Amino acid sequence: MNAYNNFAKLYDTLMDNVDYNRWYKYIKEILNKYRYEPKTVLEMACGTGSLTKFLCEDDYDITCFDLSEEMLSVAYDKLRKYKNCEILNQDMTNFDLNKKYDLILCLCDSLNYITDREDLINTFNNVYNHLNEDGMFIFDINSYYKLNNIIANNTFVEDREEIYYIWDNFYDDENDQCEFYLTFFVKEAEKYLRFDENHIQKAYKTNEIIEVLKSSEFKNIDVYEGFTFNSINETSERINFIATK
């Protein structure tokens, strides 16, 4: 997979429809609802650090990591002024930070990038081992419904004058994976430079995630429709999980 390389430089521009402030408020609402006050936070797959920035401003003791050096380079520019944030290049399927945290986050469907069940098991085990007793794990996924019915076998085009981009998707029924073929044309001087990336997201059924969380010994597993405390239904697009050690 060739993902989040050159795309990293355009990520914040193309994701300007994502309201990270709302996302952060939702995390705070969860913490309030569960009457939990973490001090140390690990954000896995932090990307360009847009959510991390809110954590930094709230004075948590933060570690964030991502697999993509290019995404981290953008995150570094955004986060280097904060003294309470450590930025690392790590793989969530295989990390050992020699530290435990009160809260671990993995947001914006980053978990769907784990396409192999063994890797999912390893990730949840890693998270469990990096949590303090009673520590909390919050993450979300693109639902099976969304990947199958909205994104799958669909093509999206965005024309932003300086950036023209095509997002062509193919659904692999055998493996329940959605393949994204991204083509970007970026204006530089009077030319458009082209580059391509391929991403793969796994379509997980909610019960499969719950089953793997349980096998990693997580307890108090709650599942909500993204950004709410409502139950999920067949057409929920973003599913938010909360589990404790």
- By C-beta, is 116 or 134 nearer to ligand SAM? 116
The answer to the question of residue 140 lying near ligand SAM (CB under 6 A) is no
Residue closest to ligand SAM, measured at CB: 47
For the bound state, the minimum distance from the C-beta of residue 95 to ligand SAM, rounded and expressed in Å, comes to 8
The 3-class secondary structure across the chain, one letter per residue, is: CECCCCHHHHHHHHCCCCCHHHHHHHHHHHHHHCCCCCCEEEEECCCCCHHHHHHHHCCCEEEEEECCHHHHHHHHHHHCCCCCEEEEECECCECCCCCCEEEEEECCCHHHHCCCHHHHHHHHHHHHHCEEEEEEEEEEEECHHHHHHHHCCCEEEEECCCEEEEEEEEEECCCCEEEEEEEEEEEECCEEEEEEEEEEEECCCHHHHHHHHHHCCCEEEEEEECCCCCCCCCCCCEEEEEEEC
| Sole binder of ligand SAM in the list 24, 26, 60, 113 (CB under 6 A) | 113
| Centroid of chain to Cα 58 | 20
- By C-beta, is 129 or 188 nearer to ligand SAM? 129
The answer to the question of residue 102 lying near ligand SAM (CB under 6 A) is no
The answer to the question of residue 213 lying near ligand SAM (CB under 6 A) is no
The answer to the question of residue 46 lying near ligand SAM (CB under 6 A) is yes
| Sole binder of ligand SAM in the list 47, 146, 178, 239 (CB under 6 A) | 47
Q: Contact 47/94 with Cβ under 8 angstroms?
A: no
The answer to the question of residue 138 lying near ligand SAM (CB under 6 A) is no
- Contact region for ligand SAM (CB under 6 A) — 61-69, 149-157, 167-175, 214-222? 61-69
The answer to the question of residue 115 lying near ligand SAM (CB under 6 A) is no
| Sole binder of ligand SAM in the list 61, 86, 91, 225 (CB under 6 A) | 91
For the bound state, the minimum distance from the C-beta of residue 149 to ligand SAM, rounded and expressed in Å, comes to 19
- Contact region for ligand SAM (CB under 6 A) — 80-88, 91-99, 153-161, 223-231? 91-99
CA distances from 67 to 72, 116, 230 (A): 8, 16, 32
| Sole binder of ligand SAM in the list 64, 71, 203, 232 (CB under 6 A) | 71
- By C-beta, is 94 or 220 nearer to ligand SAM? 94
Residues that bind ligand SAM (CB under 6 A): 4, 44-47, 50-51, 66-68, 71, 91-93, 107-110, 113
